[in-house]
Amino acid sequence: MKGKKHIMNKNDAKKRIEELRKQTEYYAKKYYDEDNPEISDFEYDMLMLELRNLENKYPDLIKKDSLTQKVGGTVKEGFEKVTHIVPLQSLQDVFDFESIYSFDERMKEIAKENNKELKYVVETKIDGLSVALEYKNGKFVKGATRGNGLVGEDVTQNLKTIKHIPQTLKEPIDIVVRGEVFIGTKEFEELNEKRELEDEPLFANARNAAAGSLRQLDSSIVANRPLDIFLFNVQKSDSIEFTSHYDSLKYLEKIGFNVNPVKILCNNVEEVISAIQKIGDERPNLSFGIDGAVIKVDDLNLRKIIGETAKVPKWAIAYKYPPEKKETVLRDIICQVGRTGVITPLAILDPVVVAGSTISKTTLHNEDFIKEKDIRIGDHIYIQKAGDVIPEVVGVIKEKRTGKEKKFEMPKFCPVCGGEVVREFGEVASRCIGIECPARTLRNITHFASREAMNIDGLGEAIIEQLINNGFIKDISDIYYLKLEEIASLKKDGKKFAQNLIDAISKSKENDLDRLICGLGIRNVGSKLAKILAKKFKSIDNLMEASVINLNSIEEVGEIIADNIYSFFKQEQTIDLINKLKEAGVNMNYLKEDSNDERFYGKVFVLTGTLENYTRDEASEIIENFGGKTSSTVSKKTDYVLAGEEAGSKLRKANELGIKVINEDEFKKMIS
């Protein structure tokens, strides 16, 4: 993204400044608050640089709320606010060595005036999420994100899941330190590979993966993410006084902190430049992502004299390395099928080394991405690593085209099973809807056996994976033809387990029709809609014969969902599966007796907390049997919130909106 270079007058400058402020605020919100960046760090940096240069040229146009004057980021709803004891400031970015020499001249002048020795510490700028950790008497008591620099989010419980954050220091001191939470390069690649297999959206880079993970409201999710931390500053200490930043880092290591391993003490600016170049050369070999090198004055007393602005310290700057971009040839585009049927085009490349890794293939995301960049098979292209991790195609060298290049078209049929490939209105993804597609087998069977579907106790993903790997099952219907000895062979002394599983499988044959419909995994058909369909059509045969018009006449079924259901049941694979399930004795009919009691008709309930006498599913079923609806979110359309023990944010929201809150005893009276 290139900035405008020729500003003719102040009015033009004012217009461009406003335009840049809107752009940077939008992209900063995506980056800091939503952890979902839309442009590269380099493109954002160039926008900020242009804005800063214009504001420097016309200082009377500077506003206090400009991102050049404050730290980006806000406090996410759901977290407690924490006011930082010492503000967590940002850094002034520079993009050339000339700016570093200018910085050095300013520092030398102040050092000379105050008869101080000038040294620098050069450190890697870790690409992660900045946090402050507070210790009392050597015990970890609180941790918070940077937020807007003055107020952050209390993420203490999430930080406790990171193994390199000591809960107790080797010395009983009071101290506040600052660090960067990150995900290592290898760990990030593995995390994204797993997400790709499960058809979850990929993290754009390691920084946003770390930030998105740490800002989860559920600490159990955080515990399963490979978060790490490097400490890089003492914010405040009541127990010990430091005069050298470099010495303070050594002390942090001594008392048990995981300190940034790249910290180079420099006696002059030439050594600083050399250190930056050395880090740049070693960058591909680092086990963690960086987005620059930080240059800091070492003398802490001199720092106080130099001072700071509201946003940045004047005694430090960050040098940003340019992204490495390489040319290669796109030899072919093949399609991969994920576990939910999403088909992803993959570019096969002439191998090329980018940021230390040999790249021979990379994702092309989807059909729209390919068309937008006009990517063709045989093209010479530029690739770079987003966040120095994910290889991506950033441009086509069209002047090198020979006319032999071929346009790519998404397949109409799945390359794995031959099932129909569909792309729903409003979606970018194309997907195979073949229920017997081998690429989807594990996901399909796991969903079929899950609690919300056929509820086959003991048949979890790990067991299913073993059954598939041993060739005992290939599709959903094979579950009902499993032999006792096949299941028993999966475990040592597995006869009891096998018998329990056989019993659970047999019991599932008696499930009501809605569980079967849910278990089939029809796109956009969950347990609630499955109940509505079962009640409406009474049998699987009736549902299979339903027209799009019949389906669309149901209030909860829109055009897209109606098309999904209709197309699903017209697939040969689906018809074949249903016949196999019938032969196995699986119930295909609606068993419940419809109630004429519609006392909750038109009412919306939200359930929160732990109920003593009902599971969530049981309470939901009672409400729905009386004609009501349940929702997972509290809004103005909610009529009742049924609150059990340890009700949380939903209860608070209900009270804020003035929505009727009922307890379990009141609910019993309503249904008696």
List the one residue out of 394, 376, 204, 163 whose CA is nearest residue 289.
204
Q: Which residues does residue 308 pair with via DSSP β-bridges, in sequence order?
A: 313
The DSSP secondary-structure symbol of 439 reads G
What is the rounded CA–CA span in Å between residue 361 and residue 252? 42
Q: Which residues does residue 383 pair with via DSSP β-bridges, in sequence order?
A: 326, 393
The DSSP secondary-structure symbol of 537 reads H
Amino acid at 566: Y
- The three-point CA angle 201-204-205 to 5° equals 130
The DSSP secondary-structure symbol of 481 reads G
Q: Phi, psi at residue 443, to the nearest 5°?
A: -60, -45
Active site residue 125: yes
What is the rounded CA–CA span in Å between residue 165 and residue 139? 11
Q: Phi, psi at residue 348, to the nearest 5°?
A: -100, 120
Using an 8 Å Cβ cutoff, are 551 and 557 in contact?
A: yes
Using an 8 Å Cβ cutoff, are 67 and 25 in contact?
A: yes
Q: Are strands 660-662 and 640-643 parallel, antiparallel or unpaired?
A: parallel
List the one residue out of 184, 101, 181, 98 whose CA is nearest residue 145.
181
Coil vs helix vs strand at 45? helix
Q: Which residues does residue 332 pair with via DSSP β-bridges, in sequence order?
A: 348
**Measured between alpha carbons, how far is residue 397 from residues 25, 194, 360, 394, 581 in Å?**
32, 32, 18, 10, 54
- Selecting among 119, 125, 385, 531, the annotated active-site residue is 125
Using an 8 Å Cβ cutoff, are 421 and 432 in contact?
A: yes
User: Alpha helix (H) ranges present in 68-120?
Assistant: 97-113
What is the rounded CA–CA span in Å between residue 452 and residue 447? 8
Q: What interhelical angle do 206-214 and 185-197 show, nearest 10?
A: 80
Coil vs helix vs strand at 262? coil
List residues with catalytic annotation: 125
